[in-house]
């Protein structure tokens, strides 16, 4: 499986239409204890059956620092484009070149056979553990998707992305 930015060229998921899904926070923009970052994203996804999907929200060059991840999610079939929604809030705990930030949120989607929305709690790779990152530097951010099964029908598109620093 290949981890790729939503809005890029997918190897195991492919993008239906390039959208704006990346940005950069200016140097020091997050370098204040208690400062929060909120990311809301939405779009559509489709699957051939029930592949695993991992969604990552990352900071830093090439998504080096995973701020929040869904972990591998066993998806229900969504053979026609189905809506998905991501809402993550992160808060700075300590500042500086070895600052820490912790994030929680949800990722949900609807399958084609059910109107039930499935929710998963997001956290960094060790849930409940803050991410250490250089908060004095400019920080790129992006949303990444990884499909566990390679098939052209496994697709994801981001139509809405809002990232805001809460002061």
Beta strands in the chain (DSSP E): 4-5, 22-25, 36-46, 52-59, 65-69, 73-74, 82-94, 99-110, 117-122, 131-133, 139-147, 155-166
DSSP code of 32?
S
d(CA 150, CA 2): 9
Indicate whether this model's pTM tops 0.75. Answer: yes
pLDDT in tens, the chain (167 residues): 444 445 433 333 433 333 334 688 999 999 999 999 999 988 888 777 777 888 888 888 766 788 888 888 887 777 777 888 889 999 999 999 999 999 988 888 877 666 555 566 667 767 778 999 999 999 988 888 888 777 777 778 888 888 889 87
Choose among 39, 40, 41, 46: nearest CA to 10. 46
């Amino acid at each position: 499986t290949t981890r790729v930015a939503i809005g890029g060229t997918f190897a195991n998921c492919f993008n239906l239409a390039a959208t704006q899904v990346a940005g950069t926070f200016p140097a020091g923009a997050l370098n204040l204890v208690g400062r929060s970052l909120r990311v809301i994203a939405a779009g559509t996804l489709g699957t051939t059956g029930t592949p695993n999907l991992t969604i990552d929200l990352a900071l830093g060059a090439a998504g080096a620092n995973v701020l929040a991840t869904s972990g591998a999610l066993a998806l229900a079939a969504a053979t026609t484009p189905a809506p998905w929604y991501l809402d993550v809030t992160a808060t700075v705990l300590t500042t500086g070149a070895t600052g820490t930030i912790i994030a929680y949120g949800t990722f949900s989607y609807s399958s084609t056979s059910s109107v039930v929305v499935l929710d998963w709690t997001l956290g960094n790779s060790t849930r409940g553990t803050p991410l250490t990152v250089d908060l004095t530097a400019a920080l790129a951010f992006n949303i990444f998707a990884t499909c566990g099964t390679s098939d052209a029908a496994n697709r994801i598109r981001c139509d809405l992305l809002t990232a805001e620093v809460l002061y």
